[in-house]
Amino acid sequence: MTKKTIAIIGAGLAGLSCAVRLTALGHHVELFEKSRGPAGRMSTKRGEGWAADHGAQYFTARDPLFIEQVKKWVADQTVALWTPEIKVYEANQWTTFLSQDLRYVGTPAMNTPAKQLASGLPLHTSQTIDALSHKDGHWFLHSAEAGDIAKGFDELILAIPGPQALALAQHLDPDIKTIAGQSNMKGCWTLMARFEQRPEVAFEAAFVNQEIISWVARNSSKPQRTGQESWTIQANPLWSQEFIELGKEDVADQLLACAKKLGLDCTGAEISMHRWRYASGSTTATLGFYSNPALHLGMCGDWLNGGRVEGAWLSGYHLANQFAE
Ligand SMILES: Cc1cc2nc3c(=O)[nH]c(=O)nc-3n(C[C@H](O)[C@H](O)[C@H](O)COP(=O)(O)OP(=O)(O)OC[C@H]3O[C@@H](n4cnc5c(N)ncnc54)[C@H](O)[C@@H]3O)c2cc1C
């Protein structure tokens, strides 16, 4: 097999699993990531004396390939089970959430699995790729921060959310325009609250229906979390999308009022806000990944594989195998 040089844009779980697999198959991979570190939507926000998982809250594993990966992470303490007391709130009523699902979290933070995958890989952070060109059989990248990337690549993989792939690459391939144009992703307003003391609330996590909040969780109940008592509150996708351009303070006021109604009074807590512009959603048909061998171009990401952490990891892994074929 010929060793190829492959550029991957995006160091979330999909880009990283693709990179790890391609490297194992003998290729040379370089990752370009606009943020300061890997993990994407599996990130953890940090401040002085506190941390909070503000993207993915936990993940499940159902596919045998991903179960194998999770077992390895558990064995090396990258990941652990999280077994909170979960309640459901709907129509002014609380019930206990009963499910057999095993819920996993990164330890000591949600971004640890991504950091583990990224270790040893060539990862260029703070590089927002904003233009692509294909010349003389090679892909060339331009970054907003560093200008032209000097090196050309045999293959290019976009491991970024659908709307961002659309903006970056729709002119290169009509299929990307069609597929990424259907990605239907929604935003998520997220509020992080830090308390001097643990608030008296009758749950550690809650699914909330028919309110502007859809999820509340006590970060401090996850394994190996230290520092200030912290909670994460996430707004529901439809509400978030409708009010995605609203100011942070207005959003916070509305979420805090709803949290109070749910029994989590954040008076006196320190509050931080985060807006995820493309948080969740996927194409209606589950494609798994996209590959255009004639153009030496591929796409992977949760949005091509049903959403969620497991879908992202599998999408990257399967695209890498397809490349090898
Ligand atoms: C609020 C929220 C809650 C969630 N809750 C859960 C949950 O409980 N369970 C679950 O399984 N999943 C959950 N998810 C979904 C889960 O986080 C994702 O499915 C998964 O992390 C997606 O991985 P990915 O690699 O496909 O994409 P991403 O993680 O989005 O990775 C894409 C990467 O590309 C980078 N990038 C984008 N554009 C460029 C560019 N032009 N140049 C360079 N880099 C670029 C981004 O910075 C990012 O790091 C949640 C997500 C959010 C936001």
Mean pLDDT, all residues of the chain: 96
Q: Are residues 202 and 264 in the same domain?
A: yes
pLDDT in tens, 34-79: 999 999 999 999 999 999 999 999 999 999 999 999 999 999 999 9
Listing from the earlier edge strand, what are the strands of the sheet with 129-135?
129-135, 138-143, 147-148
| DSSP output for 57-118 | --B---SHHHHHHHHHHHHTTSEEE----EEEEETTEEEE-------EEESSSTTHHHHHHH
CA of 42 to the centre of ligand 1 (A): 6
CA of 187 to the centre of ligand 1 (A): 11
Q: Tell me if residue 256 falls in helix, strand or coil.
A: helix
Q: Which domain holds residue 229?
A: 46-110+184-280
Q: Are residues 173 and 266 in the same domain?
A: no
The pLDDT of 301-318, averaged and rounded, is 97
Please say which residue of 262, 280, 298 terminates a domain: 280
| In the predicted structure, residue 124 carries a pLDDT above the cut 90 | yes
How far is it, in rounded angstroms, from Cα 36 to Cα 181?
28
Residue 128 beta carbon below 6 angstroms from any ligand 1 atom: yes
Residue nearest to atom 52 of ligand 1 (CA): 55
Q: Are residues 142 and 276 in the same domain?
A: no
Number of domains the chain contains: 2
Q: Are residues 35 and 128 in the same domain?
A: yes
pTM of the full structure: 0.97
CA of 196 to the centre of ligand 1 (A): 31
How far is it, in rounded angstroms, from Cα 59 to Cα 69?
13
Q: Are residues 315 and 205 in the same domain?
A: no
Q: Are residues 24 and 55 in the same domain?
A: no
pLDDT in tens, 11-22: 999 999 999 999
Residue 298 beta carbon below 6 angstroms from any ligand 1 atom: no
CATH number at residue 243: 3.90.660.10
CA of 41 to the centre of ligand 1 (A): 3
